[in-house]
Amino acid sequence: MNAPSPTLARWLSGPRFDRLPDRADDQAPPKLSFEFFPPRTDALETQLWACIRKLEPLAPRFVSVTYGAGGTTQARTHATVARMVTETTLTPAAHLTCVGASRGEIDDIARAYWDAGIRHIVALRGDVPGGGDYVPHPQGYAYASDLVAGLAKVAPFEISVAAYPEIHPTAASPLADLEVLKRKLDAGATRAITNYFFDNATFLRFLDLALAAGISAPIVPGIMPVSNYTQIVKFSAVSGVRVPSWLGAYFEGVEDDVEIRRMIAAVVAAEQVRQLQANGIDEFHFYTLNRPDLTNAIAHILGVRPRAVSAG
């Protein structure tokens, strides 16, 4: 028998790697939730509602609608979630922040959500419009944990809060950031949704640390499908997310090819979720950027199939 060729010998010299496990026939697909942002123009509102209608048949656990820095999209956020209640089968969750409003004003907004049929709030400290250091409103809720406690007094909302696997950019330390998360959950939040990340090992270590800190509530990974690499690098620099070099290599030379970038985005996000599934995670929150086709394709890869939606 001939000796292996140098090429074949090299191929045979390394370790063997099994594929990620396939979903078993009796295993349910992962639970998904989606985030949308409210429209700023009539044209963007048409785009948003096309996105909502496209993703509604996937029957997500809930869909959240963001709230601009300092509450700049408050009216549009309210209009969007209120319309979801009356015209869709979706369960909407409205974002609500502490920035730029008194406790009374925020409580009134929360009551208006409850009266409109909104039962789920994503409670956040929020960002200062235009950037800059955060300063609590003198008559407001100082931090998200205070907001969570206040919302519990307004109505029995389901409340989600934010978590940061790579720590919040303004946190003093990872331990201090975990203490902030624990205060929010102890104040009455039912789950945390993480900022997006690209290194699954970082997220899994974060779960270990959270459990060791006495946190037992679900910490749902936030997934950001990336089709615009330049944009995500700029955004990540502000939000404290590490963008790995391998992701940049995937997008080299395809700046002007939208279809290839979308394919890369779907493959990367689906692989990230499947690896997390292999580690026991079965719930995921997708930042859709109001672009339904990419999220729909990833959901299909993960085994999520559309259901019939009755006319609203």
pLDDT of residue 178: 97
Q: Torsion-angle region of residue 71: left (phi > 0), alpha (psi -120 to 50) or beta? A: left
Q: Does residue 123 sit in helix, strand or coil?
A: strand
**The pair of three-digit structure tokens given for residue 79, joined into one six-digit string:** 């209009």
Q: Which helix (H) or strand (E) holds 76?
A: helix 74-87
Residues of the chain with pLDDT under 70: 1-4, 68-73, 310-312
Closest CA to 66 of 42, 40, 35: 35
pTM of the model: 0.92
pLDDT of residue 80: 94
Closest CA to 120 of 54, 59, 33: 33
pLDDT in tens, 54-70: 999 999 999 999 986 55
How big is the chain by its Cα radius of gyration, in Å?
21
Determine contact, residues 289/298, Cβ cutoff 8 Å: no
**Ranges of each domain in the chain:** 28-301
**The pair of three-digit structure tokens given for residue 72, joined into one six-digit string:** 């700049």
pLDDT of residue 18: 77
pLDDT of residue 58: 98
Catalytic residue among 35, 56, 158, 179, which?
35
pLDDT of residue 40: 85
Determine contact, residues 142/98, Cβ cutoff 8 Å: yes
Domain 28-301 adopts which CATH fold? TIM Barrel (3.20.20)
Please indicate whether residue 166 is annotated as part of the active site. no
Start-to-end CA distance of the chain, whole Å, equals: 71
pLDDT in tens, 82-111: 999 999 999 999 999 999 899 999 999 999
pLDDT of residue 304: 96
